[in-house]
Structure 1
Amino acid sequence: MSDINKLIVGQSAAAKELKRLIQLVAPSSATVLVQGETGTGKELVARAIHDESNRRGKLIAVNCAAIPSDLLESELFGHEKGAFTGAVNSRPGRIEQASDGTLFLDEIGDMPIALQSKLLRVLESKNVQRVGGSGEKNVDFRLVCATHQNLQAKIDSGEFRSDLFFRINVFPIDVPNLSVRAVDIPLLVEVLTNQMNFSELKSRPTFDKTAIDALCKYDWPGNIRELKNVLERASVLFYGKNVSRENVKQNLIKLKAPIEEEQDALWEASGALSQTEDLFQDSDSHQLPTAENFRSWFEFHDFIDMRRHLRDIEIVLIEAALDKTNGMVGNAADLLKIRRTTLIEKIKKFVIEKPLS
């Protein structure tokens, strides 16, 4: 057993809930589907599940998107000598190597559909057959899968098997974006900086309060991976120096967060809030009002609380989409053209109640 706090860093409500779910499922043998956007730390979640479990074997990780489809079968299932050109020796696959341990299939959504049926058979029979082999080997492993894709949409398009989805989605875990964990950023900066190799302690860059505040206000579309890259850049640019807000602004990140750019686009496309509320009620409405509604706004008003207004619009759109889909989050996310995990975070952030289906 390991200290989960070393893998999942943070004390925000989102981080605490993530750790609670990991510790809840780890002792069981249940298959886990880890969902989240790129860079959120899905592999760390898999590692934490393995470390917190009673499995004595290894954690074997396979990135289904990084291995060519014609090689993935041999990588997973292994092969016998002479099974194909270049197979000069027999070799166990990753599934066999994970026996008594945990198999982590990252980006499961990129697995070719032909291999999905073979994986499903292994999960159901607990036996694996190598490529070019005739016999089967019994395997006992815990399966953890991860994806940043909408698997339901891939099922609808025929790219993912529904029976495999039901088999791997026994215990789903949604990994939160870093944007909803801003309170964790100071601790993450400290931990990630300490993990870097410096010849002397004094050579590490230090971030003053203004720099930390700037990092906390950024939206981090690349999540923890992007934060780590920014800190590595800082270690080169500000070797042994103090980092200020101006340093962050000029050299490390673009402080106008992408989410604000999305909000600016929404602002230009949204029109008045009253019109937005009628969007799903008016059967003749096919597009959002244009920015023309606000061209003369300041001729008649002294100011506008843009952040609050955009927040209200976002809430109305989410509630309308949920109403339209009878509370089906995946379908509502498709209507809004955002990821399911992003919609879940917004529902929690705005405390939106889903309608009863």
Structure 2
Amino acid sequence: MKRIMIVDDDASLARTLELYFRGKNYEVTTYRTGHEAFEGWRREEPDLVLLDVQLPDMDGPEVLENAKREALEGEVVMITAFHDTEATLKAIRLGAADYLYKPIDLDALDLLLEKILIQKAERERLARVSHVVSKSYKPNQIIGRSKAMLEVIKAIAQVAQTPASVLLEGETGTGKEMVAQAIHQESAPDEPFVAINCAAIVENLLESELFGHERGAFTGAAQRKIGKLEIAAKGTVFLDEIGEFPLELQAKLLRVLQEREFQRVGGLKTLPMQARIIAATNRDLEVMVRESTFREDLYFRLKVFVIRIPPLRERVEDVVPLTEYFVHLLNEEMGKRVSRIPKAHLEALKSYDWPGNVRELQNVLRRGMILSKGEILELNENWLEKKEQPRKAQSEAAPNPDEQEVLQSLEEVERAHIMKVLKHTRGNYGEACKILGISRPTLRRKISEYNLLVESSD
């Protein structure tokens, strides 16, 4: 028999609900005050609790908060005569399953309780076939049991003992900054870790951001600014998305790496550069060097020690420990108590291709944690699209004769596109470079290579 607890100081309503639920074979208890309800909740372990927001001695959300603090079980529906948005939201945050406004529509209440009990039964079923989340994780821990990640962890330990520059390579979302922080923690934990996203700062501000500037160095420089290299002291400067570092500033960064010194913009004093440089990229810098969009000498200075962080699809063994780790962190962040993950969810997570890598996994889990009300992680597996057909299989599939088309070589496509852009810009090389995303030297080389007859207008 299901047990329901009714907490309301309206004697008439409480009596009506008591008789109604007894007629439906519920075991019913009623309480008029919050303190009585809390003590009764401890004793009776109800399946359902109908809890009024306004009570004589304390409000309903306060009763619920005390119950959750002691991990008392029971699905809670808040009932109120007032459209109190703040109290309602607080109750939902505390784990209330839903809420109803007075006067109570018994048919609506029936449907709501039926839905809640079905969901509760499903969670209990999942708890019997679920994976228990480990509690042994620490913040900023490098997670991985795959061979590829064990190699990354080994590389971190090796390079941390030296002051060498490090280049981190990997797709977006693979956790390059976390690896950089791990190197820093192993080598200079008491010194600053300073991160700069080279793609997020406009070119004319990046130099000042990195080196600092003196008062009056340029229009708007009303006072001296200390740059990131100076702030980092003997710590670490992390240059994220180094492939976006402006070509015009690359020579200055190269000199800093070579001479281990720099000057503020507009300054005369030479300052020592004591920090380790860790750069990260999701682009192929070797290709950029060949295209003259990245300096070869800077590339070799940065790649003293290279660590490649593999994409998540190449280390499926790490999906489960990563999931446990993020659930552990999100429990603390959101005040949740999720401790079990249905095995079906884990299989779905392991079979997904993760184009957004570890960052996408974290976002999917965050979304699930928001929806999770108890100990079981609630994920909608429809969030995870199926893997695409393998490219090899796609290329070997027989073409449809009706869909055949004349296919061009990559060289022909590139030549035609460059010509199209140059015509659009009427020979303006500067505008063409912006559209094509290449440097002027690369454009001139392409024009010569493809023998394009275009007269420059700039």
When normalised by structure 1's length, the TM-score is: 0.69
Distance 1:61 1:136, change over 3 A: same
Instruction: Indicate yes or no: 2:168 matched with 1:37.
Output: no
Structure 1 residue 141 displacement after superposition: 1.2
The whole-number CA distance in structure 1 between the counterparts of 2:290 and 2:333 is 50
Matches within 5 A, 1:333-344: none
Structure 1 residue 249 displacement after superposition: 2.0
Distance 1:98 1:194, change over 3 A: same
**Equivalent in 293, 303, 310 of residue 176 of structure 1:** 310
Aligned to 1:268: 394
1:55–1:102 CA contact under 8 A, matched in 2: no
Structure 1 residue 292 displacement after superposition: 5.4
The whole-number CA distance in structure 1 between the counterparts of 2:343 and 2:189 is 43
Distance 1:229 1:37, change over 3 A: same
**Equivalent in 264, 267, 275 of residue 130 of structure 1:** 264
1:106–1:146 CA contact under 8 A, matched in 2: yes
Aligned to 2:384: 253
Matches within 5 A, 1:231-242: 231-240=365-374, 242=376
Q: Note the residue ranges of structure 1 that are not aligned, 5 or more in a row.
A: 272-289, 294-357
The whole-number CA distance in structure 2 between the counterparts of 1:155 and 1:51 is 32
The whole-number CA distance in structure 2 between the counterparts of 1:71 and 1:143 is 20
Aligned to 2:233: 99
Aligned to 2:3: none
Q: Note the residue ranges of structure 2 that are not aligned, 5 or more in a row.
A: 1-136, 402-458
Structure 1 residue 199 displacement after superposition: 5.9
Aligned to 2:320: 186
Aligned to 1:282: none
Aligned to 2:157: 23
The whole-number CA distance in structure 1 between the counterparts of 2:336 and 2:369 is 12
1:214–1:248 CA contact under 8 A, matched in 2: no
Aligned to 2:344: 210
Structure 1 residue 85 displacement after superposition: 2.0
Aligned to 1:146: 280
The whole-number CA distance in structure 1 between the counterparts of 2:344 and 2:287 is 42
2:142–2:179 CA contact under 8 A, matched in 1: yes
Structure 1 residue 102 displacement after superposition: 0.9
The whole-number CA distance in structure 1 between the counterparts of 2:230 and 2:305 is 23
1:64–1:110 CA contact under 8 A, matched in 2: yes
Amino acid at match of 2:380: V
The whole-number CA distance in structure 2 between the counterparts of 1:101 and 1:185 is 32
Aligned to 1:341: none
Structure 1 residue 55 displacement after superposition: 6.3
The whole-number CA distance in structure 1 between the counterparts of 2:222 and 2:320 is 52
The whole-number CA distance in structure 2 between the counterparts of 1:22 and 1:111 is 25
2:140–2:178 CA contact under 8 A, matched in 1: no
1:205–1:234 CA contact under 8 A, matched in 2: no
2:192–2:236 CA contact under 8 A, matched in 1: yes
Amino acid at match of 1:122: V
The whole-number CA distance in structure 2 between the counterparts of 1:72 and 1:16 is 35
The whole-number CA distance in structure 2 between the counterparts of 1:108 and 1:269 is 34
Deviations 1:296-322 (A, max 9, x none): xxxxxxxxxxxxxxxxxxxxxxxxxxx
Comparing 212-221 with 49-58, which one deviates more in the overlay?
Answer: 49-58
The whole-number CA distance in structure 1 between the counterparts of 2:381 and 2:359 is 19
SS in 1 for 2:292: coil
Distance 1:200 1:35, change over 3 A: closer
Amino acid at match of 2:356: G
1:31–1:171 CA contact under 8 A, matched in 2: yes
Instruction: Indicate yes or no: 2:290 matched with 1:156.
Output: yes
The whole-number CA distance in structure 2 between the counterparts of 1:62 and 1:39 is 16
Deviations 1:29-48 (A, max 9, x none): 11110000000000011001
Structure 1 residue 239 displacement after superposition: 3.2
Comparing 153-162 with 52-61, which one deviates more in the overlay?
Answer: 52-61
SS in 1 for 2:380: helix
Structure 1 residue 172 displacement after superposition: 0.5
Distance 1:162 1:4, change over 3 A: farther
Distance 1:92 1:228, change over 3 A: same
Comparing 70-79 with 189-198, which one deviates more in the overlay?
Answer: 189-198
SS in 2 for 1:291: coil
Deviations 1:58-94 (A, max 9, x none): 1111110111111101000100001122211101111
The whole-number CA distance in structure 2 between the counterparts of 1:124 and 1:6 is 31
The whole-number CA distance in structure 1 between the counterparts of 2:189 and 2:139 is 19
When normalised by structure 2's length, the TM-score is: 0.55
Aligned to 2:129: none
SS in 2 for 1:242: coil
Aligned to 1:352: none
The whole-number CA distance in structure 2 between the counterparts of 1:153 and 1:199 is 43
Number of equivalenced pairs:
264
Structure 1 residue 98 displacement after superposition: 1.5
2:168–2:281 CA contact under 8 A, matched in 1: yes
Matches within 5 A, 1:273-284: none
Distance 1:5 1:177, change over 3 A: farther
The whole-number CA distance in structure 2 between the counterparts of 1:175 and 1:57 is 25
Higher relative contact order (CA 8 A, sep 6+): 1
Distance 1:209 1:189, change over 3 A: same
The whole-number CA distance in structure 2 between the counterparts of 1:90 and 1:129 is 13
Identity %: 42
